[in-house]
Amino acid sequence: MTDFHTQTLAELSRGLENGDFTSLQLTEALLQRISAHNDKLNAFITITADEALAAAVRADAARAGGSAGVLNGLPIIHKDIFCTRGVKTSCGSKMLDNFISPYDATVVAKLQQAGAVVLGKANMDEFAMGSSNETSFYGAVKNPWDLECSPGGSSGGSSAAVAARFAPAATGTDTGGSIRQPAALTGTVGIKPTYGRVSRYGMIAFASSLDQAGVITRSAEDAACMLGVMAGFDERDSTSIDQPVPDYTAAIGKSIKGLRVGIVRQHFDVGLEAETGARVKDAIAMLESLGATTVEVDLPNLDLSVPAYYVVAPAECSSNLSRFDGVRFGHRAENAEDLLDLYCRSRGEGFGDEVKRRILTGAYVLSAGYYDAYYLKAQQVRQLIADDFKRAFADVDVIAGPTTPAPAFKLGDKFNDPITMYLNDVYTIGANLAGLPAMSVPCGFVKDLPVGLHLVGSHFSEATLLQCAHQYQQQTEFHQACPEDFQ
Amino acid sequence: MSAGWEVVIGLEIHTQLATKSKIFSGASTAYGSEPNTQACLVDLGYPGVLPVLNKEVVRMATMFGLAVNATVARRSVFARKNYFYPDLPKGYQISQMELPIVEHGEMFITDADGNEKRIGITRAHLEEDAGKSIHEGLDASSGIDLNRAGTPLLEIVSEPDLRSAKEAVAYLRKIHTIVRYLGISDGNMQEGSFRCDANVSVRPMGQKELGTRAELKNLNSFRFIEKAINLEVERQIDLIEDGGTVAQETRLYDSDKHETRSMRSKEEANDYRYFPDPDLLPVEISDEFIAAARAALPELPAAKEQRFVSAYELRADDATILTASRALADYFETLVEATDAKPQIAANWVIGELSGALNKDNKDIGDSNISATDLAGLVNRIHDNTISGKIAKQVFEAMWNGKGSADEVIESQGLKQITDNSAIEAVVQKVIDENPSQVAEYRAGKDKLIGFFVGKVMQETRGQANPGQVNQVLKDLLKA
């Protein structure tokens, strides 16, 4: 068997079940593939080969013993933001380069219980702050479709790894688009569920009220399978919501006939690259041909989402990252003169520029005299945006549009221009501010680079999003295209 | 205090809530363990961990709110107070800022003129404690013990209604009593379960505006609080009278040197950048929850004190003493229940001998060597004339030293009172026979000598003769 990498999670699962191959064979093959090709991409921070092989052996034994979980023996990758016991969990930062987590995140534990085999920890923007994966202490990740381009961020290692067929699925996190934007730029599927759907316990916090764990795969079917395992209430996360998890895999097979698809006029105004817009319009036409109806909806406050986000997210990050002080774990400056010096130098040396920029912005908007004008105002705007979505979802089931304004950009192009970089998230941020589920589905190519269709649903409508994406993928082959260097 | 000046004091009391586990984690709150053995990953502020509210603290805060006649907020919000310090693992303390759980309460104290005075309670909010920095015994470095990190605190903030150090202490004692009555704190000041900061200012008598205040920290005993406040008041008055001005600052009280010194000025104060903690949902409290907390409220000190006066006919000051702690009041009531003697007699024993013995051995009522029912056994023997009050003290001491129950001690030491008239007559006759000159003097009209004869009889009977009977028999036989 040499074509493991071409198969989806669902296909590999059937192969294991039929006894066509073992998890050990599968794991060895993918580890070999990773070791052969990862240098081109820099998708990993840590490759956990030994742990993966041991887990594969256990999975094979479990299957032989008749106790195979849903993901038994199936290889996946974790974004390096999820704490994994006994393994370095760096969050893409020098600050945590020496941090071995003593515990597993809930997401990690759940996937492990389902039998998944973890191949490694994916590269990412430092502390998930970035849209290009260039802020990583471990260097930028390259886009398998064009090695000079960014794979997006912050889950850039996850998206590149899945696009390069290193594994059929990788976890990610999404605070302002960090799953969906990289998925779009690498021709993969990425879903960010409803805020509270997946536990945040053990996921290193960037902006607590916006962060949500999700997954990057090649097919919506695989995303449904992964999400089914990851979702659910966790008593260790007070913001996780106690609501039953539907059978996503069962839901996706249904026709989308009669599905009401909302189109936001502002999405197709200024800022959207023409060809990208054309691919998205084609995708919407495809949904119509499958029986969906389109309705124009209005999100009047959408243009405020980026500024509101860049107040709320830095504010929370400035506080969340205070624990990295060089005292108990992580980077600690040597020969500090006194306590203040220890703090200043440990943090000064441990954090990169983008993280510092956001901590400073966040501390500023929360400080006495500015709180009302910035933080409080941003929270009010956030409520307006949530209300806009609520009104829109009275008339439609999903809102469809572009995931990004354009296909992947060249590494280095926007790195020194934070504002332009931030605007890359203009279509995705609204879902985070409103806590809504959203996903990106590959919908074509612009100059040989993939672009994505963005779908947003009302709270807890993941099944509808996955169904819509799956039905679309039954008619299209964009998600099956493989970058030339990674056939 | 210098004449012409009015003192204005407000207190911030941090009381540790008596939960088994911490406010946002499952780690134990027990005091005195090896450093860092009772701090889990949540307390250590590890990457990725999240706080989960211990619901017990909400119940405790609600009970406190009801007990001080306050408004218990149907919705309160945890906020982050951001600052860096090694004993603060997350770089922020989870507290409550804009929407505390308790607001607008009150407490009544007795002022210097003996009048009841209302002290407003601005608010009480829930928060987590920090750890401790350890500087002793470490060479050129500091240690951090995070066992205390995450311990639940209720911070109780008073209005600036207190007008003297004495009033401040009276108020503090009332709060101390009430938290222990409610069972929400052990109130142990040595272990830091009950701590107090005082905001102190002075102003010329009659002036409306408040003077600039200094915040006094590190006040960890009732005695120190009174001393520290008086010291600070003197310092401020002297300063102003010498033409200076009081700076707004935080001052630390040093009990060894008996001085306060500046810790940090207002300019150096942190901007804590409070904002609602996005990891925690707002605390929503239902009417049912409040009703249940109200139903679970014990009888409060003021009500108990009144009842002790009306139901047991105790002297008012004795009722105050006996109700100062719920355990003492319970002890007293168990004693009263088990004895036929008047409650005031029982009260005298508790306030007198028992409290004396407890103080001497530095014990709490809960650790008393003599249980309430055992003490009732002793009081009953006085009541039924088996022993005199004087012998009873001897019996009490034997009981305290573990020599058995009142009856056992009386029996084994032969302390039973002599009430047999003929036996007393025999002794009295012996004393008369042995002291002819005193008898003659008495009979010649020197009545005072009766005391001499009583003493002799008691000496002969080792104090066991019934004093009333001795008196009567002496008078009868001396007459002859």
Question: If you average pLDDT over every residue of chain A, what do you get?
Answer: 96
* Residue-wise pLDDT tens digits, A289-326: 999 999 999 999 988 999 999 999 999 999 999 999 99
Name the burial class of residue A384, with classes exposed (0-12), middle (13-18) and buried (19+) by CB atoms within 10 angstroms of its CB.
middle
Question: How many independent structural domains does chain A possess?
Answer: 1
Residue A179 lies inside a defined structural domain of this protein: yes
Q: What is the mean pLDDT of residues A438-447?
A: 98
pLDDT value of position A423: 79
Region B118-144: mean pLDDT is 90
Contact A102 B86 (CB under 8 A): no
Structure tokens that stand for B55 in this block: 């619901």
Interface test with B, best of A173, A208, A322 (most B CBs within 10 A): A322
Same domain, B176 and B223: yes
Of the residues B412, B431, B456, the one at which a domain ends: B412
Give the chain B residue whose CA is nearest to the CA of A206. B48
Residues in A closer than 8 angstroms to B25, CB to CB, are none
Chain A segment 176-205 residues within 8 A of B by beta carbon are: 200-205
Which residues from chain B sit within 8 angstroms of residue A208, using beta carbons? 278-279
Q: Do residue B47 and residue A83 have CB atoms under 8 angstroms apart?
A: yes
Q: What is the pLDDT of residues B347-394, one digit of tens each?
A: 999 999 999 999 999 998 989 999 999 999 999 998 888 888 888 898
Express the helix, strand and coil content of chain A in percent, nearest 5 each.
45, 15, 40
In A, minimum Cα distance to B84 occurs at A322
Nearest to B48 among A105, A238, A239 (CB): A105
Q: What share of chain B has pLDDT > 90, as a percent?
A: 68
A303 within domain boundaries = no
pLDDT at B479: 81
Same domain, yes or no: B111 and B190: yes
The answer, for B269 touching chain A at a CB cutoff of 8 Å, is no
A150 classed as catalytic:
no
Cβ contact A201–B144 (<8 Å): no
Does pLDDT of B1 surpass 60? no
Residues B193, B171, single domain; the answer is: yes
pLDDT of residue B265: 74
Q: Are residues B449 and B403 in the same domain?
A: no
Percent of chain A topping pLDDT 90: 93
The pLDDT of residue A215:
98
With 80 as the cut, is the pLDDT of residue B87 above it? yes
Q: In whole angstroms, what is the distance from residue B83 CA to residue A366 CA?
A: 13
Q: In the Cβ-directed half-sphere of A210, how many Cα atoms lie within 13 Å?
A: 31
Q: Is the pLDDT of residue B343 over 60?
A: yes
pLDDT digits (tens, 9 = 90+) for B306-333: 999 999 999 999 999 999 888 999 999 9
Q: Are residues B308 and B184 in the same domain?
A: no
CA distance B131 to chain A (A): 13
Position B2 scores a pLDDT of 65
Between positions 371 and 410 of A, the ones with CB within 8 A of B are 371, 375
Pair B327, B250 in one domain: no
B52 vs A236, A322, A343: nearest CB: A236
Is A332 part of any domain? no
If you average pLDDT over residues A110-129, what whole number do you get? Answer: 98
Position A153 in a domain:
yes
pTM of the model: 0.90
Out of B412, B446, B463, pick the residue that ends a domain: B412
**Distance, in angstroms, between A459 CA and closest chain B CA?**
18
B193 pairs with which residues across the strands? Answer: none
- Identify the pLDDT of residue B159: 98
- Which domain, by its residues, includes A449? 4-261+395-486
Which chain A residues touch B48 with a CB distance below 8 Å? Answer: 82-83, 89, 101, 105, 201-205
In a domain, A317, yes or no: no
Owning domain of residue B466:
421-479
Residue A417 corresponds to which tokens in the numbers above? 């221009």
Structural domains counted in chain B: 3
Cβ–Cβ < 8 Å for B242, B7: no
What pLDDT, in 10s, does the model give residues A143-201?
999 999 999 999 999 999 999 999 999 999 999 999 999 999 999 999 999 999 999 99
- Check whether residue B359 and residue B278 sit in a common domain: no
Residues of A in contact with B92 (CB under 8 A): 319, 322
Residues of A (339-368) whose Cβ lies below 8 Å from B: 339, 343, 363, 366-368
Q: Which of A31-40, B227-236, B418-427 has the lowest mean pLDDT?
A: B418-427
Catalytic residue from among A13, A23, A79, A121: A79
Whether residue B283 is found in the same domain as residue B310:
no
Q: B174-202 pLDDT, tens per residue? A: 999 999 999 999 999 988 899 999 999 99
Is the confidence at residue B215, as pLDDT, over 60? yes
Residues B379 and B339 in one domain: yes
Find the mean pLDDT for residues A398-416: 93
Query: Which of B52, B273, B279 lies closest to A208 in CB terms?
Result: B279
Q: Chain B interface, mutation test: which of A325, A329, A367, most B Cβ atoms within 10 Å?
A: A325
Question: pLDDT tens-digit profile of A79-97?
Answer: 999 999 999 999 999 999 9
**pLDDT at residue A72, as a whole number:** 97
Q: What is the 3-state secondary structure (H, E, C) of A429-471?
A: HHHHHHCCCEEEEEEEEECCEEEEEEEEECCCCHHHHHHHHHH
More confident residue, A423 or A71: A71
Q: Is B82 on the interface with A (CB under 8 A)?
A: yes
Token readout for A418 is 């934070």
User: Percentage of residues in chain B with pLDDT exceeding 70?
Assistant: 99
Q: Which of residues 306-345 of B touch A (CB under 8 A)?
A: none
| Domain boundary pick from B273, B291, B309 | B291
Q: Do residues A150 and A143 make contact, with C-beta atoms less than 8 angstroms apart?
A: yes
Secondary structure class of A167 (helix, strand, coil):
coil
Report CA-CA distances (Å) from B338 to B343, B353, B358, B377.
11, 18, 21, 8
Alpha carbon of A73: minimum distance to chain B alpha carbons (Å)? 27
Among B residues 172-211, those touching chain A with beta carbons less than 8 Å apart:
none
Residues B358 and B264 in one domain: no
pLDDT bin (cut points 50, 70, 90) of residue B480 is low
Catalytic residue flag (residue A101): no
> Does some domain include residue A32?
yes
Structure confidence at residue B89 as a pLDDT band (50, 70, 90): very high
Identify whether residues B342 and B441 lie together within a single domain. no
Cα torsion through A363, A377, A389, A169, rounded to 10: 0
State whether B273 and A366 contact (CB < 8 Å).
yes
Question: At A449, which CATH number?
Answer: 3.90.1300.10
Is A318 designated active site? no
Q: What is the DSSP letter of A201?
A: T
In a domain, residue A188? The reply is: yes
pLDDT score recorded for residue B299: 93
Nearest to A83 among B48, B52, B273 (CB): B48
- Predicted local confidence at residue B267, as pLDDT: 66
**Are residues B72 and B16 located together in one domain of the fold?**
yes
Nearest Cβ partner for B47 among A99, A316, A327: A99
- Alpha-carbon B82 to chain mean position: 34
